[in-house]
Chain A
Amino acid sequence: MSQPLIETKDLCKYFKTPKGLLHAVDGVNLTIQKGETLGVVGESGCGKSTLGRVILRLIPHTSGQVMYDGKDFLALSKREMNVMRRKAQIIFQDPSSSLNPRMTVSEIIAEPIRVNHILHGSKEIEKRVKELMETVGLAYRFVNTYPHELDGGRRQRIGIARALAVNPEFIVCDEPVSALDVSIQAQILNLLMDLQDEMGLTYMFITHNLSVVKHISDEIAVMYLGQCVEKTSSDELFENPMHPYTQALLEAIPLATIEEKYRERNIIRGEVVSPVNPKPGCRFAPRCPYATDACGDPNLNLKEVTPGHWVACTRCGG
C-alpha cells in the first residue's frame, strides 16, 4: 500500500476539567489515503470534532503524532507550518457562525488568497474569486452580499469556496451538512464528491449521521468516548458491523421505509457519559448488551478481525 496522506499515531488530547482529565481523544490511530475520504462517526462528546481540530493543529495535542505525507505535522516549526497550513483546510458545521457577518462574500473568499500571498493584484484575486464561486455553484451576482442575506446552503458553499481558495490537498469537513435541509444536504454532498473527483482532494468527513457518511466515504471510523472502536471500508461497515456500538448506531437510524423488518428494532439502553478519568477497558461496556468481565481488559486495542476490518471488542477475533 502506498504511503497514506494522513496518519495519526496514538494521538491524544486531554482537557483539564474541574472533575478531572477529560479524555476527548485517546490514542487514536487512523490513516487516510490520498484522494480518499475517511468518515469519522460518533455521537456528541465522542471527540470527533476535537480530533479534526487536533489534526489541523487548531488546538494543541497532548501526545502522539500526526504524519502528513510522512512528515510529523505537529512538530513543524512556525515557518514550516505557514506553508503547510495551506494544504489542510476545514469546513464547519454551522455556516452562519463560520462566516464573518461583517464581510462580503468576495472578501471572505479573497482573504485566504491575500493572507497567503497566492495571487497579487486585485484584478487577479477578483478573477480567482469568480472562478471559485463558479466551482462551488454560487452565482456571481452574490459576490457583494453579506452572509446573513443568503440561505444555509449558499452559505455553506461560501465556506467551501473559502477552504478551496488556498488550493488545499486535505479538507476536514466537520458536520458540513448537519445544519441543512434534506434537499440542500444532498446538493452539498454531491458538490463535495464532485470536487473530490475533479481536484483529487482528500477528506476527513466528521458526522454524527451514519447515513450521510455512507455515500461519501471510502473508509469509516466509528468513535466512542475518545476512542476508535471500529474501522473498515464503508460497504463492509454497513454490511457487516462487528462492534456492538456500531450495530446499535445502525439500528438506531430511523429509515424512511415502513417495511416491518426495519420498523421493529432493538434499541440500546443508557446514555453517553463524558470520558473524565475513564476506567481501563472498553468504554462502551456499561451500555453493551454483551458485556462480560473480560471487557475490563486494559489492553483492548483495535484488532484486524478480517482483512481491512479493525474492531476493538473482546468478542471479535481475540
Chain B
Amino acid sequence: MDEVVIKKSNPWLTIWHRYRKNRLAMFGLILLIALILVALFAGVFLDYEQDVVHQDIIHKLQWPSAEHPFGTDKYGRDIMARVIWGARISLSVGFITVFLALFIGAIIGAVAGFYGGKVDNILMRIMDVFLAMPSTMLAIAVVSALGTDMINLLIALAIARIPQFARIVRSAILSVKGMDFVEAARSYGAKDKLIIFKHIIPNAIGPIIVQTTTNLANTILGVAGLSFIGLGIQPPTPEWGSMLSEAKEHMRYYPYLMISPGIAIILAVLAFNLIGDGLRDALDPRLKN
C-alpha cells in the first residue's frame, strides 16, 4: 500500500476492469453493441419502402436461399430486412419505455426514500396499487382504452414499470441514507441537494443500473408479447413480436418464419441479461479483488 501515490484511481475504471474479467458479460456487451450498430445503420443498407414493407406476392413463402438468407414471408417480403429493421423498433421501444419509467420512478422513489414518513407512505401505497395489477394486463388495458399506436404502447409499458423502479430506487436510497457518511455530511451543514446528488445517488446507483438492464430485456419481451396478441406494433411495421404473430399461421409448413425473429428476441434479451449480471458483480464492492 505504501507506493500508493498522489495518483487518482477512478472507481468507474476499476468497475470496468472487473467487468472486463467476466467473459459472459463481455459477450453480452459485444452482442448489444452489434445489435445497436445493426439498428443504427439499417437505413444505410435498406430502403424502408422498397425492402421492408414492399409486397412481392410472387416470391411469397420462400425458404432461405442465397438471395433471401432468412427466406420471405407470406407477402414475399425479405425476412432478413424485416428482422434488421425490427431491431430499430424493438430496441428503441425498449430503451424509451425503460428510461421513461426509470426517470419517473426514480423521482418518486427518491422523494419517498429521502423524505420518508407520510410522503413515503402515500407514494408507496399508490405504487402498490399499480404493482398489484399484472403489468401485461395493465398495458393491455391502457392500449385498448387509448387505441393501438406506438405512443400509447410506450406509455402503457412505461406505466407498468414505474412502480418497480420507484421501489428499487427507494430501497437503494434507504440503504445509503442510514450510512454514517450521510449523517456526517448533515453534521457539517450540507444541504439536501448536495447530500442526495453527491452522497446518496452515487452510492445507490449499482442496483438501479442492474434493474434497468434486466428491465430492458423484459420490456423487449413485453413489446413482443403485446404485438404477438395484436395490441402492439401494427403491421406492416416490422417488429419481432408481430412478425412471430404473423408467422404463427404458417409455422407448421414454414417454421423458418419464426426462427429468425425468435432468435433476434432471444439474442437481445440475452445480451441485456448478461450485461445486467455482469454489472451486478462488477458493482459489488465485496467481490473486489
Residues of A within 8 A of B (CB): 53, 56, 58, 82, 85-86, 88-90, 92-94, 97-104, 111-112, 115-116, 140-146, 148-151, 159, 162, 165-166
Contact = CB atoms under 8 A, between A and B. Distances in A.
B180 A102 contact: no
B180 A141 contact: no
Contacts of A165: 188
Interface in B1-19: 1, 4-9, 11
B1 A112 contact: no
Nearest to A81: B189
A141 B183 contact: no
A206 to B, nearest CB: 13
A144 B203 CA distance: 19
B183 A90 contact: yes
Interface in B175-204: 179-181, 183-191, 194, 198-199, 202-203
B211 to A, nearest CB: 19
Contacts of A142: 4
A162 B116 CA distance: 28
A58 B180 contact: no
B181 A166 contact: no
Contacts of B181: 97-100
A88, A100, A101 — most chain B CB neighbours (10 Å): A100
A89 B6 contact: no
Interface residues of B, number: 27
Nearest to B202: A102
Nearest to A168: B188
Contacts of B190: 111, 115
A102 B188 contact: no
Contact of B187 (A56, A82, A100): A56
Given A102-B202, A141-B4, A150-B1, A97 B179 contact: yes
Interface of A is mostly: loop
A82 B198 CA distance: 20
Contacts of A104: 8
Contacts of A82: 189
B186 A58 contact: yes
Contacts of B9: 145-146, 149
Nearest to B176: A100
B285 interface: yes
A140 B5 CA distance: 9
Nearest to B187: A90
30 contacts: A53-B183, A58-B183, A85-B189, A86-B188, A86-B189, A89-B187, A90-B183, A90-B184, A92-B183, A92-B184, A94-B180, A97-B180, A98-B180, A98-B181, A100-B181, A100-B203, A101-B203, A102-B11, A111-B185, A111-B198, A115-B189, A145-B4, A146-B11, A149-B1, A149-B4, A149-B9, A151-B1, A159-B184, A162-B184, A166-B188
Contacts of A145: 4, 9
Nearest to A104: B8
A188 B190 CA distance: 27
A84 to B, nearest CB: 9
B161 to A, nearest CB: 27
Interface centre among B4, B180, B189 (most CB of A within 10 A): B180
Contact of B188 (A97, A116, A149): A116
